[in-house]
Structure 1
Amino acid sequence: MRLALARWPTPAALIGEDGHINAGNRAFARLFGCEQCDLRQRAIDELIPAFRPLDGGDAPAVRHRATGHRLDGSTFPLRFIRLPVDAGDTRCTLVGVKPRGSRGQVVPIRNCQNDARLRAAVKAGRIGTWIWDLRQRTAWWDSAMYQLWEIPPDGILPIATATALLHPEDREWVGRSMDHFVNSGAREFALEFRLLRPDRSTQWVSISGEIQRNPDGEPTQMIGATTDVTARKNAEHALHHAQKMEALGTLAGGIAHDFNNILLAIAGNTRLAEQELPPDHPVRNMLDQIAKASVRATDLVNRILTFSRQGDCRREVLPLQSAVEDAIKLLRATLPGMIEISCTFAKNLPPVRADATQVHQIIINLVTNAAHAIGDNARGSIAVTLDDARVAQDDAPAPQLRAGRYVRLSVTDTGSGMDKATLDRIFDPFFTTKPAGRGTGLGLSVVDGIMRSHEGAIFATSQPGRGTTFRLYFPVADLTPLAENSLARDIAPPEAPSRGPREIASTRAEGRGRRVMYIDDEDALVYLMTRVLQKCGYRVTGFTDAEQALQALRERPAEFDVVVTDLSMPGMSGFHVAQVIREIRADLPVVVTSGYVRAEDRETAKEVGVRDLVPKPDTVEELAGVLAQVFEQRRSDSPRRKNSNA
């Protein structure tokens, strides 16, 4: 019978006893705006409402006038005839259709080439079309809808079956929204929501279309298109997360700067107080506890700066495997005996450009978290793997991950796993599922910050009771030499002797009466550093206002041997101070201190002639060492200047 339909000169279809289409020829499908595969099991009265199957009293060859309904919602006049046929053991009706104009002219069938173009566009855009019959509570899908879901066509769907595909969390509000569109008299609708695919994965879709109404204004059907927007939604989510982390990083950097000033005052005054007390004084024990707390707080600030990507990252070309193996060796002894750790490394992996210390930090964080997820007294395993991965631009897991070649580090555990709500927040700073005393919630945030600073990315997959896998992408090194990141190496000559800062700070003769201008907007730091440097033999003049300090230098330019200034001050930065000093007295060395030092700060420092950058809160000892090196360099440069003048 299908062969006969193919030879039928006009649009024709075979109708079963239940009123559904068993088969139709290409002309019939084209007439009603669909493909042949879309016809199967569709009710004929959806396309020709006036059609009724033959019964014993009907004259089979009588021509009937009727209105045809295309799948795009348009209508057209037609004539049809019905013929009884036998298809195996069942009795069917063959319907032949001929479109007509208002004066009997044949309505031209749509151009086949345009149809092909439309189908190609719909397929490329992952767009499916559908019709929801509001009276019969049924839904029809075209073949593209089934392809989006990767399931075989199933004819006319009860609306309950279609709506059951909605994500449980979206089902209620989507239903309310659709009722609102139908009952409010609206002609068009548009929504975005989630579906739950047969494999239980989430799919984002966008639907839009129009509502057909009869002359009385009652809704009869909704005709719409569904577009798969999962990739866009994932990209938006990743971008939102990146923007949130960027904002938090900026905030964290600002907080860390102010916190470093406080820590410096606490740690520095504690050391000064210890020097004033005899070795057996009972207060020394309390000062030691303050010093220890300051060290812990300093470590926390450094972790915050790493999370915010404002820490100093010194990358070099290295094989990632060696850095991972070194970290694993250190960790094996600390893991509970019930937990087994295994390593699998692909051969001939290319090198990456990374900071080995931060790679250690990544491994320690991830493996420690994995051990906590398994539990101290439970059996489990942690698998660490390295392999080669290539990322294409059209399927990159996140916007910040560029197309290219990567070395992928994976850490998989057999622990308790995480639900989606927890998984969505694991990289948020200070979010933790660990009990009090087991962590600050900065571990994974720090790892995320490290990976972003390395122009890579980290992703996690997990299910409750089925463990967790972290995948980290390190860009393969292009072996193009990078500029030196250390300002000290660019300024200090290689032959300059290296001196320990504590040794210098404890020797009064180092200062030798040299004159220091110290500028910082924090009164406590000006007081502290004045006392520390005076103990080292320097003569110090402190300022809390940069403009006042520069005015004093203009009035007495020969009175100072070095200027030490904070980087972040209200009204004027340390770099601006250095530029003005260069105009006043070009040979006067300038040292800048900062709560955090970024790579771009080092570049700016070189441009404005800064001698060195000293990170807080180690400034108490390190600053004295830097000043000693500054004067040693000037002393070694003096004979060269004299010879050049001669």
Structure 2
Amino acid sequence: MFRTLEDARIFGYDSTEKNWRYETFLGHVLPDERAEVDRQLKKAIATKSDLSIECRIRRTDGEIRWIWVAVGYQYDKQGHLRFVSGITHDITMRKLFEIESEKLQAKLQHSQQMHVVGQLAGGIAHDFNNMLMVILGHTELALERKDSSYTDLKVIEKAASHSAELTRQLLAFARRQSVTAQILDLNAAVEDMILMMRRLIGENITLTWIPNVQSAPVKIAPSQVGQILSNLCVNARDAIEKTGNITIETVKIHVHKKESAAMHTCSIPGDYISLSITDNGHGIDKKLLPHIMEPFFTTKEVGKGTGMGLSTVYGIVKQNNGFIDIESEKDKGTSIRIYFPLQLHDASQDSNVSMESTLTQGKDTILLVENGHDILHHCRQMLENKGYSVLSAASPLEALKLAKRNKDQIKLLVTDVVMPEMNGSDLFKELEKICRNLKVVYMSAYTSDFTTRHIPGNDKMSFIEKPFTMAEFKNIIKALVNKLPENEEG
């Protein structure tokens, strides 16, 4: 099949092989391709047809290479076949480039699909947040009356709050979620998600929750806890074929300096809260473990996995200065253990601080602009209940007319961001020409990360994300109003 020294070197020989036979060549072809290569070559020889074929071989030194083989025939003067000859080329570099290009193309297509889905998710979440704003707002106002419907209203409030958290996860998926880490009790955060996780994984799987530490203060955004749990529980569910078990567990550990230096998962010594999710599913092949955190890498069938779940978890863990470790055994199950630095401040103390902080009687006029009628009515009612003088407008042009008639009284603008006629930022610029020392609170069903890309930040502005509670709204209004100079009208 080959006759030159260069051909010999392709297969790992230092000189031309004297006893080279067809069987010798076939023995170098990888076992899973050998039968097909043999079939095609024998068919070509039998029919005396030309053939070129690509296959993988194992050299004498064990290295695997790609080769291209072309088969030709030598005939005598009478037209009888004398012998079959072959030309061999090493095409390993070209094949590696082609494989990498195919992978990149598949990732690009997947990324484009995810972008479209993300845009859809972001739009749905935006509209849903506006509706939740009305539901939560009027529920809070009704709760202040403390009548016989108080218990039912608290249930409605809790359900609406959980729904608001779901929309935050949708916005995070759409890359429009800014996250603000805070110290929280990881046990409490997990506890709040357990019911949702049970519904997510189905009744055929038993979910066990074991908090092995009384208090687990860590620093992380609450929505990110939900992302971690949902991604890992879905993966665990998919690894279980019929019935099985998933265990979520927290524990406090201390990593000594010697341990961190001896290849412990936590490379920085100190105290940690460990969050583990363990399943008894089919497990992960050891050769795949080094790759499972890579974006777009998935062991699931096409269409059943995005390949983003574990990479999202990895990103969240690293963003919050944590560490992650995975142990898995084929046909026995997988355990994913996450370590977050223990915070000295006990998050449970924060739960005793009332969110119902009150706002002192207002003396300033607020111009409220919102094109959603129900939200406009609710926000005006909220502010007037606390003594503020409020001018409300359902559109930017209406707001400009009100400002011209009340320019000396208006001290603060509270406005939606995305509206017909003009956006909130442009409205503020126009109103600054009319009202002296004006400040602004932007409110939007999109998150601050998305909104501030369209609004220049400065010390005259603040932002609040819909849906928000009365306490959150009043506190941010109070903070901004209190920054206004005492005698700025002079």
Deviation at 1:558, TM superposition (A): 2.8
CA distance in 2, matches of 1:593, 1:547: 18
Give the match for residue 121 of structure 2: 252
Deviation at 1:595, TM superposition (A): 2.0
Alpha-carbon deviations, 1:269-297, whole Å to 9, x = none? Answer: 23344556x7135xx55444332321221
Contact 1:306 1:446 in 2 (8 A): no
Give the match for residue 300 of structure 2: 421
Give the match for residue 542 of structure 1: 392
Q: What's the secondary structure of 2:413's corresponding residue?
A: strand
CA distance in 2, matches of 1:244, 1:233: 17
Q: What's the secondary structure of 2:482's corresponding residue?
A: helix
Larger relative contact order (Cα-Cα within 8 Å, sequence gap ≥ 6): 2
**Larger Rg, first or second structure (1 or 2):** 1
Give the match for residue 132 of structure 2: 263
Deviation at 1:510, TM superposition (A): 2.3
Give the match for residue 290 of structure 1: 156
Q: 1:165 aligns with which of 28, 33, 43?
A: 33
Equivalences for residues 469-618 of structure 1 within 5 A: 470=336, 502-504=356-358, 510-512=361-363, 514-554=364-404, 556-570=406-420, 572-599=422-449, 601=451, 607-618=457-468
Give the match for residue 296 of structure 2: none
Q: What's the secondary structure of 1:623's corresponding residue?
A: helix
Alpha-carbon deviations, 1:350-399, whole Å to 9, x = none? Answer: xxx9747678667766886798778998699989998979xxxxxxxxxx
Q: Sort the Cα spacing of 1:557 and 1:291 in 2 relative to 1 into closer, same or farther, 3 A.
A: same
Contact 1:592 1:613 in 2 (8 A): yes
Q: What's the secondary structure of 1:561's corresponding residue?
A: strand
Equivalences for residues 348-363 of structure 1 within 5 A: 355=220
Q: What's the secondary structure of 2:486's corresponding residue?
A: helix
Give the match for residue 5 of structure 2: 29
Q: Sort the Cα spacing of 1:638 and 1:456 in 2 relative to 1 into closer, same or farther, 3 A.
A: same
Q: 1:280 aligns with which of 148, 152, 156?
A: 148
Deviation at 1:519, TM superposition (A): 1.6
Larger displacement relative to structure 2 (446-455 or 244-253): 446-455
Give the match for residue 312 of structure 1: 178
* 1:504 counterpart letter in structure 2: T
Alpha-carbon deviations, 1:181-209, whole Å to 9, x = none? Answer: xx9x99988x8x9x899xxxxx9x98768
RMSD: 6.1
Deviation at 1:591, TM superposition (A): 0.8
CA distance in 2, matches of 1:32, 1:337: 60
* 1:612 counterpart letter in structure 2: S
Structure 1 segments unaligned to the other structure (5+ residues): 1-19, 45-137, 139-153, 198-202, 343-352, 390-404, 430-442, 477-498
Larger displacement relative to structure 2 (289-298 or 356-365): 356-365
Q: What's the secondary structure of 1:618's corresponding residue?
A: coil
Structure 2 segments unaligned to the other structure (5+ residues): 59-63, 195-205, 213-217, 262-266, 285-298, 342-352
Deviation at 1:552, TM superposition (A): 3.9
TM-score (structure 1 length as normaliser): 0.47
Deviation at 1:548, TM superposition (A): 3.5
Contact 2:177 2:448 in 1 (8 A): yes
Q: Sort the Cα spacing of 1:600 and 1:551 in 2 relative to 1 into closer, same or farther, 3 A.
A: same
Contact 2:130 2:467 in 1 (8 A): yes
Deviation at 1:300, TM superposition (A): 1.4
Equivalences for residues 39-438 of structure 1 within 5 A: 39-40=16-17, 43=20, 155-157=24-26, 162=30, 164-165=32-33, 223=88, 225-226=91-92, 227-228=95-96, 244-274=113-143, 279-280=147-148, 284-314=150-180, 327=186, 355=220, 413=278, 415-417=280-282, 420-421=299-300, 425=304
Contact 1:366 1:411 in 2 (8 A): no
Contact 1:426 1:444 in 2 (8 A): no
Deviation at 1:303, TM superposition (A): 2.8
CA distance in 2, matches of 1:223, 1:565: 73
CA distance in 1, matches of 2:392, 2:211: 56
Give the match for residue 486 of structure 2: 638
TM-score (structure 2 length as normaliser): 0.59
Q: Sort the Cα spacing of 1:376 and 1:257 in 2 relative to 1 into closer, same or farther, 3 A.
A: same
Contact 1:406 1:473 in 2 (8 A): no
Contact 2:282 2:331 in 1 (8 A): yes
Contact 1:307 1:445 in 2 (8 A): no
Identity %: 20
Q: What's the secondary structure of 1:311's corresponding residue?
A: coil
Contact 1:367 1:382 in 2 (8 A): no
Deviation at 1:263, TM superposition (A): 0.3
Q: What's the secondary structure of 1:468's corresponding residue?
A: strand
